[in-house]
Structure 1
Amino acid sequence: MPKTILKTIDELLAGIEEDVDSSETIYKARNARQLIQVLLQRRDDLDEAIDETVTDDEIVENLRDLGYLE
């Protein structure tokens, strides 16, 4: 699976958590990472719903090519 922008941002925020000493900055980075996880879960849920409801393989493949599905 290719690396997504959201996953890259999550990794960068994880690095911030490790590199800073400010508890406020760590708190904000963790909150941002949690929001990213929500977005990733929503995307996965959407992918699953589309896979379950769209039966035309060509449509699903076109959606993948356009970046709407993984």
Structure 2
Amino acid sequence: MAVDVLTTMKELLGEVQEDVDNPDASYKLRTARQLLSVLEQRNEDLSMAVSEAVSDDELLDRLRELDYIQPAVDDFAG
């Protein structure tokens, strides 16, 4: 869910940025979008670290269900 929220926010900011003629406002919107990308990457890194550190599959599944961590990349492979 956190990734969906960040993606939606980036898309909305991008749409607004296209409609803004003020260079200062456009700069601030672009910066906000970049900061959201940083948060998204940190979220992915944290999810990977938790997945690697926790060996209990049931606990990992529960954390994923609660959207505390993202599904592993391997979960989408098959």
On whether the aligned pair clears a TM of 0.5, the verdict is yes
Q: CA RMSD in A?
A: 1.0
Aligned to 2:20: 20
Alpha-carbon separation, structure 1, partners of 2:30 and 2:6: 14
TM-score by length of 1: 0.90
For residues 42-69 of structure 1, give each alpha carbon's deviation from its aligned partner in whole angstroms, at most 9, with x where no partner exists.
1000011011111110010010111101
- Structure 2 gaps, min length 5: 71-78
- 1:16, distance to aligned residue in structure 2 (A): 1.2
Q: Which residue of 1 aligns with 2:63?
A: 63
Tell me how far apart the structure 2 counterparts of residues 66 and 44 of structure 1 sit (CA, whole Å): 15
The alpha-carbon deviation at position 34 of structure 1 amounts to 1.0
Which residue of the partner structure matches residue 5 of structure 1?
Answer: 5
| Structure 1 unaligned residues grouped into runs of 5+ | none
Deviation at 1:8, TM superposition (A): 0.3
Which has the higher relative contact order, 1 or 2, with Cα contacts under 8 A spaced 6 or more apart? 2
Give the TM-score of the pair, scaled to structure 2: 0.82
Aligned residues: 68
Deviations 1:3-25 (A, max 9, x none): 61111000001111111111011
**Which ranges of 4 or more aligned residues in structure 1 deviate by more than 4 Å?**
none
